[in-house]
């Protein structure tokens, strides 16, 4: 087994939750690992220590010429196996057309007919975290090929300490803040992945945490199109909160790595923070496909707190999350990180 292709060509958060599976594959098998990803996750794939090469997926809406180029790349890859962590009919057809000998995927939907190795998972039941479903696929692949699985452990993304120290000083200078203070990073955007707290709720939480931890420096982060929302939180929070925006994705990851605590909804940046094992506070709806269990971040044990609407509220109504109760729960837990 010399060349393995891993497919996770959907959103940033979903891709980050594939990193333990990629780490298991890297640790267990001496092979070349290629990832098929879309353009917006390509910079993350290039940071991943478990990935050797990246193939860019132009997407299902791309011109026929781009689709033919993709298929040509897949054929020329001469892959011994593909593990489709994200299975669609398009992905299944591509792998079948590319002639990959072992084609692994969850046994769901019509697409499974084009795979010759299928694992029953019932992901719609959301009985375990997404990253565990991904790990189960890799375990099944390894077992089938007689290879012992080596279990991975966080963090899954690291930066050198000297590199981060220099980056932190640079950012502190640009933002006009003290690099020596603990940084409380807050990401109020959602990327449309799940309902989130309002700017008023985030601002109230920042104020209450600053009351408990006067030395903490609030830093609002923002992705493309989220700067206005983050500025609103900065204005409402007051008390020295600043906005760090317009960073390319690799530097955005470095900024998160500089954080002492990261607060966000169920969205890609939360999962980036968890891959770095920065302590995280996450907000999740109670819809079965979006629960704190299903989208549990990758933090090591004890470094993540999850909150959701009360049981008697509408499952998507994040306005029912009581920020005062959240702050009361976070404060004793965060003392280790923000004091």
- Cis peptide preceding 155, ω within 30 of 0: yes
pLDDT score of 193 more than 80: no
The 10 Å CB-count burial string (b at 16+, else e) for 290-322 is: bbbebbbbbbeeebbbbbbbeeeeeeeebeebe
Strand-pair category, 53-57 with 117-119 = unpaired
Residue 323, CA atoms < 13 Å, CB-side half-sphere: 17
**In whole angstroms, what separates CA 129 from the centre of its chain?**
12
Q: Which two tokens stand for residue 241?
A: 């909160």
pLDDT value for 148: 98
DSSP symbol at 93: H
pLDDT value for 105: 95
Answer whether 37's CB lies under 8 Å from 67's CB.
Answer: no
Least confident of 184-198, 250-264, 323-337: 184-198
Distance CA 274, CA 299 (A): 5
Distance CA 290, CA 288 (A): 5
* pLDDT digits 0-9 by tens, 86-115: 999 999 999 999 999 999 999 877 788 899
193 against 187, higher pLDDT: 187
> Quick one: average pLDDT of 182-205?
91
Helix (H, G, I), strand (E, B) or coil at 315: coil
- Which of 247, 294, 291, 300 minimizes the C-alpha distance to 269? 247
Distance CA 42, CA 34 (A): 12
* pLDDT digits 0-9 by tens, 107-131: 877 788 899 999 998 887 888 999 9
Helix (H, G, I), strand (E, B) or coil at 63: coil
Tokens 């690992």 sit on residue: 33
- pLDDT range class, residue 80, cuts 50, 70, 90: very high
**In whole angstroms, what separates CA 184 from the centre of its chain?**
19
Write the Ramachandran bin of 238: left for phi over 0, alpha for psi from -120 to 50, otherwise beta: left
Q: What domains are there in the chain, each with its CATH number?
A: 3-144 (3.40.50.2000), 161-338 (3.40.50.2000)
> Quick one: average pLDDT of 184-194?
86
pLDDT value for 192: 67
* pLDDT digits 0-9 by tens, 243-292: 998 899 999 999 999 999 999 999 999 999 999 999 999 999 988 888 89
**What is the percent of the chain where pLDDT is above 90?**
88
* pLDDT digits 0-9 by tens, 283-324: 999 888 888 999 999 999 999 999 999 988 898 899 999 999
Distances (CA, A) of 258 to 60, 170, 249, 254: 36, 11, 14, 6
Q: Which two tokens stand for residue 257?
A: 């790595």
């Amino acid at each position: 087994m010399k060349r393995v292709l891993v497919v996770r060509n959907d959103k940033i958060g979903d891709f980050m939750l594939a990193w333990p599976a990629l780490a298991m594959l890297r640790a267990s098998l001496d092979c070349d690992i290629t990832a098929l990803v879309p353009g917006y996750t390509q910079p993350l794939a290039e940071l991943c220590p478990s990935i050797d090469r990246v193939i860019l997926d132009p997407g299902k809406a791309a011109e026929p010429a781009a689709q033919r180029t993709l298929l040509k790349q897949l054929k020329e890859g001469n892959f011994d196996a593909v593990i489709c962590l994200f299975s669609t009919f398009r992905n299944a057809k591509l792998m079948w057309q590319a002639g990959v000998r072992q084609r692994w995927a969850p046994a769901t939907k019509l697409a499974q007919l084009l795979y010759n190795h299928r694992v029953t998972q019932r992901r719609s039941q959301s009985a375990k975290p997404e990253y565990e479903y991904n790990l189960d696929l890799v375990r099944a692949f390894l077992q089938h090929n007689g290879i012992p699985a080596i279990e991975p452990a966080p963090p899954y993304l690291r930066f050198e300490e000297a590199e981060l120290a220099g980056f932190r000083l640079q950012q502190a200078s640009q933002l006009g803040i003290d690099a020596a203070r603990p940084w409380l990073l807050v990401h109020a955007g959602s990327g449309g992945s799940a309902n989130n707290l309002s700017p008023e709720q985030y601002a109230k939480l920042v104020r209450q945490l600053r009351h408990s931890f006067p030395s903490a420096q609030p830093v609002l982060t923002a992705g493309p199109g989220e700067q206005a929302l983050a500025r609103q939180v900065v204005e409402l929070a007051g008390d020295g909160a600043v906005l760090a925006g317009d960073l390319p994705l690799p530097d955005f990851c470095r900024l998160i790595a500089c954080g002492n605590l990261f607060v966000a909804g169920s969205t890609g940046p939360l999962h980036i923070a968890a891959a770095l094992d920065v302590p995280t506070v996450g907000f999740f709806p109670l819809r079965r496909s979006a629960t704190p269990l299903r989208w549990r971040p990758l933090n090591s044990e004890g470094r993540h707190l999850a909150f959701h609407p009360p049981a008697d509220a509408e499952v998507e109504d994040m306005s029912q999350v009581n920020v005062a109760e959240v702050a009361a729960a976070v404060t004793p837990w965060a003392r280790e990180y923000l004091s």
